[in-house]
């Protein structure tokens, strides 16, 4: 992580089905929308009420992108940890816009809201430094052990990266 990057953890609900892309360099990445609505105490109502919802565009890369595309669906509760940045762009109507983008290091289901079942994925062995920058576990070669329950990642829903993008949210509304 670079100096002065803002690392955050957001608990919320998936607002769009993740879409997995591959760019020309064949590095997979996945995008989805995330809504987070805090609950605040309201004295007048003598109870908790929903505060304003914050929306984020979540981006994941490499193995995390493939796993998110396979495991996460719209409407599911998740916990996302990553680096936050604000992206300024201009809409097709010429209006300035800002999008909160979260480049995720980790994404998981919020187990305070339900259960999930972990399935280990099988990826090719990496070099000692790791093809995706990750370090292999101590004493290992970086390959993920092929457990009996391991399943390959289904890439049938992966789509090609669009050539033209009218802003960060354009692919999410298509």
pTM assigned to the model: 0.68
Q: What is the mean pLDDT of residues 110-128?
A: 78
Position 133 pLDDT exceeds 90: no
Q: What is the mean pLDDT of the chain?
A: 80
Of 6-15, 39-48, 85-94, 116-125, least confident by mean pLDDT is 116-125
Residue 90 to residue 156: CA distance in whole angstroms? 33
**Apex CA 141: angle with CA 138 and CA 142, to 5°?**
80
**Contact, 116 vs 77, CB < 8 A?**
no
Q: Is residue 84 part of a domain?
A: yes
Give me the numbers of helices (H) and strands (E) for the chain, helices first please.
2, 9
Per-residue pLDDT at 140: 41
Q: Is residue 1 part of a domain?
A: no
Q: Which domain holds residue 65?
A: 6-173
Q: Is residue 133 part of a domain?
A: yes
Q: Is residue 52 part of a domain?
A: yes
Residue 174 to residue 168: CA distance in whole angstroms? 12
What are the distances in angstroms from CA 169 to CA 21, 46, 56? 14, 38, 10
Q: What is the CATH number of the domain that holds 30?
A: 2.40.50.140
Residue 115 to residue 137: CA distance in whole angstroms? 27
Per-residue pLDDT at 65: 95
Domain count, the chain: 1
Q: What is the mean pLDDT of residues 1-30?
A: 88
**Residue 144, token pair as written in the block:** 């993920």
Of 67-71, 99-103, 106-110, 154-158, least confident by mean pLDDT is 154-158
């Amino acid at each position: 992580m670079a100096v002065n990057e803002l690392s955050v953890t957001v608990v919320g609900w998936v607002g769009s089905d993740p879409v997995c892309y591959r760019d020309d360099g064949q590095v997979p990445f996945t995008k989805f929308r995330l809504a987070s609505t805090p609950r605040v105490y309201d004295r007048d109502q003598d109870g908790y009420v929903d505060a304003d919802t914050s929306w984020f565009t979540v981006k994941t890369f490499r193995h995390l992108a493939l796993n998110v595309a396979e495991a996460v669906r719209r409407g599911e509760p998740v916990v996302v940890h990553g680096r936050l940045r604000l992206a300024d762009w201009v809409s097709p109507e010429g209006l300035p816009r800002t999008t909160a983008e979260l480049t995720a290091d980790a994404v998981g289901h919020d187990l305070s809201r339900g259960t999930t079942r972990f399935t280990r994925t099988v990826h090719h062995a990496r070099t000692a430094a790791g093809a995706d920058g990750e370090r292999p576990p101590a004493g290992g070669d970086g390959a993920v052990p092929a457990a009996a329950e391991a399943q390959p990642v289904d890439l049938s829903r992966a789509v090609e990266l669009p050539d033209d993008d009218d802003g960060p949210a354009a692919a999410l509304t298509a």
